[in-house]
Amino acid sequence: MIDGAKALRKAIAETFGSAALVRRCQVHKQRNVLEHLPERLRPSVAKALAQAWSSADPKLARRQLERLATSLEKEHPGAAASIREGLDETLTLQELGITGSLHRTLRSTNPIENLNGAIAEYTHHVKRWRGGRMILRWVGAAMAEAATHFRRIRGHEDLPKLVAALRRHEEKIGLHHEAKVA
């Protein structure tokens, strides 16, 4: 799950290659698209984006997004290009068959950003960092503290479905993991 940062996307591709499944944050994508539009068009385009992204059928969603981009292309080419850039990555969960509450939870980077905010809050009094080990200790302590405030994510009951879909993806691309027997 990423916000669309090109350097982060590149690092994921270099590290994981074809095994990487990237999910783009739909909230960030919508914000980027709407920035290219006049105020009067923003509500209708936001509604069209939401409708496409709420579809359980990734092919239908892709067609809706392409149709939207085509309709904007002549007058607002920046918005059309923004829709098309990373379009497939906004549909990753639909491609995996993940819908409902878990899909709504994972449509944005909010869970990650909440953890990042908690770490920043915990570490903001440190005035002088003394090396990587200190950073790791403080970040680890901040994560442990943040974990005491975590709640179950909406849709947690569908996590086994997500794991199964990811395993099918691994098999499809030729990655095989031996199950560890206890």
Q: Which tens digit of pLDDT belongs to each residue from 128-138?
A: 888 889 989 99
Tokens of 20: 């990487």
- pLDDT exceeds cutoff 60 at 29: yes
Mean pLDDT of the chain: 88
Comparing C-alpha atoms, which of 175, 132, 153 is closest to residue 1?
153
pLDDT in tens, 32-50: 999 999 999 999 999 999 9
Would the pLDDT of 179 be above 90? Answer: no
pLDDT of residue 126: 87
5 pLDDT higher than 90? no
What pLDDT, on the 0 to 100 scale, is given for residue 182?
52
Q: What's the pLDDT at 176?
A: 66
